[in-house]
Each structure stands twice: as C-alpha cells, then as structure tokens.
Chains A and B, each alone.
Chain A
Amino acid sequence: MNRLTEKLAPWLFTIALFVIWEAVCRLFNISTITLPAPTAIYEAMVKHWWPILTNSYVTLWTTMAGFGLAVIFGLFLGIVVGWSRTIYRGLYPVMIGFNSIPKVAVVPILVIWFGIGEVPAILTAFLISFFPIVVNVATGLATMEPELEDVLRALGARKLDIMLKVGIPRAQPYFFGSLKVAITLAFVGTVVSETIAANKGIGYLMTLAGSSFQMPLVFAGLLALAVEGIVMYAVFAYIEGRMTRWAFRSSMNTAP
C-alpha cells in the first residue's frame, strides 16, 4: 500500500498542480493572455497538434544531435583531462572559464557563421551540455585512489593499463550520472537557440505564437518541452541505473 502511494505520488502531484492551476484561473478570472488555464492549453494542443508534433520532433532531433556530439567530445576531452593530474589542474580553470560564458551570447555568432536553422541549435545544445560530461569523466579518472595506482604500477602496469583496468570503469558512474544532467542542458540550449534564430522547433513555435498573443499555444509548447525533457531524463537515469549498479552498492562515491 505504502509503496503504491510512493509510486503514484509523482502523478498525484502533477494532477494536483493542474487542478489548482485550473481552479486559480477560474476563481480569479485570469485572462488567457496572462495565464491560460490547463483546459485552454489542452484545447490549443488538440487544435494545433500537428505543428506541435512536427516542431517537437525537430527540437528532439537537434537536441539529440547536439547531445551526441557532446558525449563524443565530452568523453574524449574528459579522458584527456583526467589522464594526468597535471593536465587536470592546468585545464580545469580554462574549462570553468569557458563554461561561465552564457551560451545565449554565443548564439548570434553561430547564426552569423552557420545561418538560421538547425545548425546553431545543435551547436548550442552541444556547447551547453558537453561541460558536465568532461568534468565528470575527468573527475572520475583523476580521483583514482593513489594506493590502487601504486599496486598496479608496482606490478609494472603502464598508464594505459591503469586507465583501462581501473580509470575507465571507475569513471563510468560519473559519466552516466553526467548524461542525465547533460541531456536536460542540451534541451535548454536547443530551445534558447530556436527562440533567437530558427524557423523550426518548439522554441520557434513559441516565439511565433507569443508574437500573435496565442498564449495557450505558447504554454502548449512549454508543456511539450517539459514532457520531452522528463522522458529523456528518465531514459538516461534508467541507463545509468542499469550500467553502474555496483556504484550504488559500494561505498564509492558517484557524481552528484
């Protein structure tokens, strides 16, 4: 019984949120231009289901493309950075500096380089999401227990051996943990870019709807984004759980 309520709790809370939302809108007679009620949003969704679906698809694939690039580069750079403590110490501040640049500021530059369309969206998603992957992989590698390294080196292990036998498996929970953070960030990147400069995607749809005061449609777009985000997060959280079960059992710390 208790476990059932625990399982149902997220649904109950979501439903409650919408119910309260609806009630507030009706009670205070809030105009649709300010805050559309869930029913109005639902109507908009039904009415505009085709553009919402197609644009969601565009947002999804651009996000995945940017995220895919981020995984490849993030892994590569993470391994390079984590390879030696010297590189780790040297490159870390540079990366922190890079990461603190607001990516919104980069979008206009990307547009000048690549024109309006999917490419800036993909690149923004990539830029914003590859950092957590690099940091996590590098941290996983660089925080290897020195005693363990000693054990292996005293056996004549080369750096590559140590990385393959210990470093990379050890960094796995960090890596998979970072994926679910990265995918959500990738969504943010795509949508930011779409709102600024695109002719497709949920971000574009929302800007378009907003400029003609179709608030229910704007909110329908928001909901579509939320759903996509939650689904992707859940997918990667599931993968994480599957791939690194040992990390939850052992005392070893995983990435936050």
Chain B
Amino acid sequence: MVIIDDVTLTYKGATPAVTAVRGTSLTVDHGEFAAVVGPSGCGKSTLMRLVTGLVKPTEGTVSVDGALVTGPVKIAGMAFQNANMLPWRTVIDNVMLPLEIVEPHRSRFRKHKAEYRARAEALLATVGLAGFGDRFPWELSGGMQQRASLCRSLIHEPALLMLDEPFAALDAFTREELWCVLRDLWQRLHFTVILVTHDLREAAFLADTIHVMSARPGRIVQTKKVELQRPRDLDICFEPAFTDIVHELRGKIAEVRQA
C-alpha cells in the first residue's frame, strides 16, 4: 500500500537547511496497522507529509497504492494532536467536511445531504458522540473533540489513515478508551493505518508492525512485528509478551537517542 524507498528530505527554506529524514525505507501492506515511534524531532511528522504527498522527497520515491506520489494523494484521512475543528461549524458539519471535497461525494453532497448526515451521525455514535452533532466544537471537551477529529478523518472511508500523535494531548483513561475505538473501527473497516506516537504501549497495543526511527536525520532503524493475537483487549497490556515488546522498544529508543 505504502512504499517509501530510500527517501531523503531536506527542508531548504530553513537556514541552515534541515535534513529531516535521510535514506529511509518503509513498507506498509494493504490493511496493515503500522506505528512509527522515535525521539522528538526525528522526522516522524515529515514522514507523514511525505506519504500524503504534501512534501516532495529530495531524493528517493514514495508510492501509495501502486502509484508514484507526485502531489497530494487525495485518498488519505488525517488527524493530528490538535483536533483542528472549525469553530464556526457544528460538530457534524466538521465531520462532513471531507465529503464536501472528496469525489464522488463532493458532487453528490447537496442532493444526498440527509443520507450523509445519517452516516456522519452513525459514525459519531460509534465513538460515543451520539447526540453531540449539533453542538459546536468549543462546547466539547478536548477528548470529545479528538473523537470528532477521528470521525472527520474516517467519514469518507479513506483507504489510508494517517494519525500524527492523535491521542497525545489526552488523559490516560480517555486515551485508552480511544485506542479501543480506533481498534474497533479498524477491525470493521480494514483501512491501512500509519500511526505516529510517542507512547510505546499505544503502538504495541494497536499496531501490527512498529517502526523505530533514529534521531534526526531520521531513518527507520528497526521494524518490529507485534505477534499478539487479535482482537486485543486492554488487559493485554499487562501480559508479559506485551511488556516485553514495550521494554525492547524502550531500549531501542534510548539507544538511538544516545547516538
């Protein structure tokens, strides 16, 4: 689904020019849940922008869904650490925003608004936001906004979901709750996910594969398959197999931070 082949990216606008990632490769299969972890500033967000075609690699190639990425990919849903809701739109209108842009929904949107509304409401219900559609984002808590943001990234059923530390700003309980929300959505819809996170437990709980990046200039230095059975339950976080994975990753990150 996603192939990053020996990609280097240098931000030339900055003085001095910053090489965010250098000679990195990464493959994510169709329907795979991949997580990327690494020290702060190592180029994880840059990697996301490369995959979605928002920045062009200085060297190397990125391809998504079998096609070389030359511009914005048009199929990706994205969510970030900040919910980035539009404060002048109600929650449901925020969630429906991608439908106003992505074809074929775009041209059908006006005529089939009721149908799409129902769909958005159903999606909101699955993340525990039933009945909040007509509120404004600023009437919602941070965690609720983040759920809505997740809905916005999924409403058009993207084949590729890009998540950049979407749960980082949340408290531990809400975060674990949203892990389960994401797990269930993924299990149901089977899209491809690339999740950037600082939380190793999050990566181990959700992902099929975990990629560890080195310090800047970033490069994938280790790829770890998570062989835990699915469906996973939160209790798995206390099993030795799970803690072993987290422990190993922790060691690796400490090592790359030293280097």
State the A residues within 8 Å of B (CB). 145, 147-148, 150-157, 161, 165-166, 169-170, 172, 246-247, 249-252
Contact = CB atoms under 8 A, between A and B. Distances in A.
Given A154-B73, A154-B78, A148 B136 contact: no
A165 B153 CA distance: 16
A249 B78 contact: no
A153 B80 CA distance: 14
A161 B101 CA distance: 8
B52 to A, nearest CB: 4
A150 B52 contact: yes
Contacts of A153: 52, 54, 72
Which interface residue of B52, B73, B101 has the most chain A CB atoms within 10 A?
Answer: B101
A250 B87 contact: yes
A154 B52 CA distance: 6
A169 B88 contact: yes
Contacts of A247: 87-88
B138 A155 contact: no
Interface of B: 49, 52-54, 72-80, 82, 84, 86-88, 97-98, 100-103, 136-138, 152-153, 156, 162
Given A165-B97, A250-B87, 10 more contacts: A147-B80, A150-B52, A150-B78, A151-B84, A153-B54, A154-B162, A156-B103, A161-B101, A250-B136, A251-B138
Contacts of B98: 155
A169 B98 CA distance: 17
A96 to B, nearest CB: 23
Contacts of B162: 154
A252 B77 CA distance: 24
Given A156-B101, A165-B100, A250-B137, A151 B88 contact: no
B87 A151 contact: no
Contacts of A166: 86
Contacts of B75: 156
Contacts of B137: 250
B169 to A, nearest CB: 13
Contacts of A152: 97, 101
A246 B137 CA distance: 10
Contacts of B54: 150, 153-154
Nearest to B139: A249
Given A147-B84, A151-B78, A151-B84, A246 B136 contact: yes
A156 B101 CA distance: 7
Nearest to A157: B101
Contacts of B100: 165
Contacts of A147: 80, 82, 84
Given A246-B87, A249-B87, A250-B87, A156 B74 contact: yes
A155 B76 contact: yes
User: Which of A153, A161, A170, A247 has the most chain B CB within a 10 Å cutoff?
Assistant: A153
Contacts of B88: 169-170, 172, 246-247
Contact of A169 (B76, B86, B156): B86
Which 10 A-B residue pairings sit nearest by Cβ, starting from the closest?
A156-B74, A250-B87, A250-B138, A154-B52, A154-B76, A153-B72, A246-B88, A157-B101, A148-B84, A155-B101
A154 B97 CA distance: 13
A157 B152 CA distance: 15
Most chain A CB atoms below 10 A, which of B87, B98, B156, B162 = B87
Contacts of B153: 151
Given A246-B136, A249-B138, A154 B84 contact: no
A197 to B, nearest CB: 45
16 contacts: A147-B82, A150-B52, A150-B78, A152-B101, A153-B72, A154-B52, A154-B74, A155-B77, A155-B98, A156-B73, A156-B75, A156-B101, A157-B101, A169-B86, A250-B138, A252-B87
A89 B207 CA distance: 43
